[in-house]
Structure 1
Amino acid sequence: MIDSSYWDAKYDVDNFIYTKDANRFVKEYCQPIIEKIGKSGKVIDLAGGEGRNSVWFAEQGWQAENIDFSGKALSKFLAFAEERRVAELCFANRADATGFESVLMPVDIGVCAYLQIPQPDLFDALDNLIENIRRGGYLMGVWHARENLETGFGGPQDPAVLPTASELREFLAQYPLDIEFLGNRDGQVQTKDGLKPSTTLVLLAKLR
């Protein structure tokens, strides 16, 4: 496992650094799938950190596996799940995104939200995630887009960890996926001075 000390230190605070609210794009794109499948669904939340998205899925009645390499983040996730009374539906899996073994696979949705890592590693992580999604299931992704460097606020400032829609489309062409949406959306970043605009790359694809 690669060194997680930076993230353990970052998450070692009393508050939730990314809030306890599920990402709005995850909710927007996954809610219709949840309604269609019902409460029998399973999801992998890859690099899910403190578990805001995982707990939201569990609150919808889904089994949710948060895969992250920070033990501190996963401890906060499990405590959050207890707080929201959905602990029985939540699973913590400490592993690297590029080499994890899921405890819930195959899942109905694989979520990759804000895994901002160099492109070769991101593609390895997505390859691993796709392998754990059932046929007919969905791949859902959210990232700070590379265009955010010019048109948005916040997020990483290294273009090497900021994907583009065209790069993702080219990579995903090798998989039996029907892309339902892949493009930039107007997002928002919470700052001490209020909400600032950001450019967010969003993906939703269905596995044939």
Structure 2
Amino acid sequence: MTGTTGPLDATAWDRRYADPAGVWGAAPNVWVVQELGALAPGRAMDLAAGEGRHALWLADRGWKVKAVDFSSTGLEVGRNVATAQALGENIEWIVQEATAITPEPGSADLVLVAYLQLPATQLQAAVTVAAGALAPGGRFLFVSHDASNLEHGTGGPQDPAVLQTPAQVAGWLRAAGMSILSAETRTRAVAGKLRPALDCVVVAQASPGDNERNRA
């Protein structure tokens, strides 16, 4: 949920996450619930986890989650909630910039990247490396503010450099060797706003391993 271009950005997000009112709220994103709610739990990486709302939601459903963000304050908010909800053993909180992660190949059954705000070159690099963490047949969910949201939607960044199209992100994931299950702009209602938000939502899957192909 947070972007990164340097340590000053992490400091700025630390200040935002220090607000007792919170930044993103506790409820998971609607597309996260829609796309992941029916999956059997396994090992997940939540990249740009922010205050951990999605990591907490996944952990509550039985997932073992690595929640990664460059804001130590944001992750501390999530860690405190996890402790209060007895979910602490299911989440590992990792302070790390999205562009500097080095996940172990095959270490995740799910990678979630939700609202990571980076310029295209940096975002593609982060997405590609994160995709490499997936085990055979693993799922990748990418959610962001769509490029069309700037003109036709509500909220979100006002810098077109950090906005994407589904075709753009799908191209990155195909180049990383993944199959695209869906890539589309979706409309999300926003409370108190006449216009909806427009989100870029891409779902992809890692190639199956030899054992899965043999069973097919």
> Letter of the aligned partner of 1:114 in structure 2?
Y
> Letter of the aligned partner of 2:75 in structure 1?
L
TM-score (norm 1): 0.91
Report the Cα offset of residue 170 of structure 1: 2.5
> Which of the residues 26, 29, 37 maps onto 1:31?
37
Residue segments in structure 1 that go unaligned for 5+ positions in a row? none
Distance 1:205 1:132, change over 3 A: same
CA distance in 2, matches of 1:43, 1:105: 11
Report the Cα offset of residue 103 of structure 1: 7.5
Tell me if structure 1 keeps the 8 A contact 2:141–2:204. yes
Report the Cα offset of residue 171 of structure 1: 2.3
Distance 1:189 1:103, change over 3 A: farther
> Which of the residues 20, 33, 36 maps onto 1:14?
20
Report the Cα offset of residue 131 of structure 1: 1.1
Between the aligned residues of both structures, percent identity stands at: 29
> Letter of the aligned partner of 1:2 in structure 2?
G
CA distance in 1, matches of 2:34, 2:135: 21
Report the Cα offset of residue 75 of structure 1: 0.5
CA distance in 2, matches of 1:12, 1:45: 21
TM-score (norm 2): 0.88
> Letter of the aligned partner of 1:206 in structure 2?
Q
Distance 1:108 1:130, change over 3 A: same
Tell me if structure 2 keeps the 8 A contact 1:42–1:104. no
Report the Cα offset of residue 16 of structure 1: 2.2
Which structure's residues are more often strand, by fraction? 1
SS of the aligned residue for 1:32 comes to coil
CA distance in 2, matches of 1:45, 1:166: 22
Structure-1 residue corresponding to 2:118? 117
Runs of 4+ in 1 over 2 A off after TM superposition: 101-105, 169-173, 193-196
Residue segments in structure 2 that go unaligned for 5+ positions in a row? 208-216
Structure-1 residue corresponding to 2:6? 2
Post-superposition CA distance 1:107-148 (Å, at most 9, x none) = 010000000210011001101101111111011010000100
SS of the aligned residue for 2:76 comes to helix
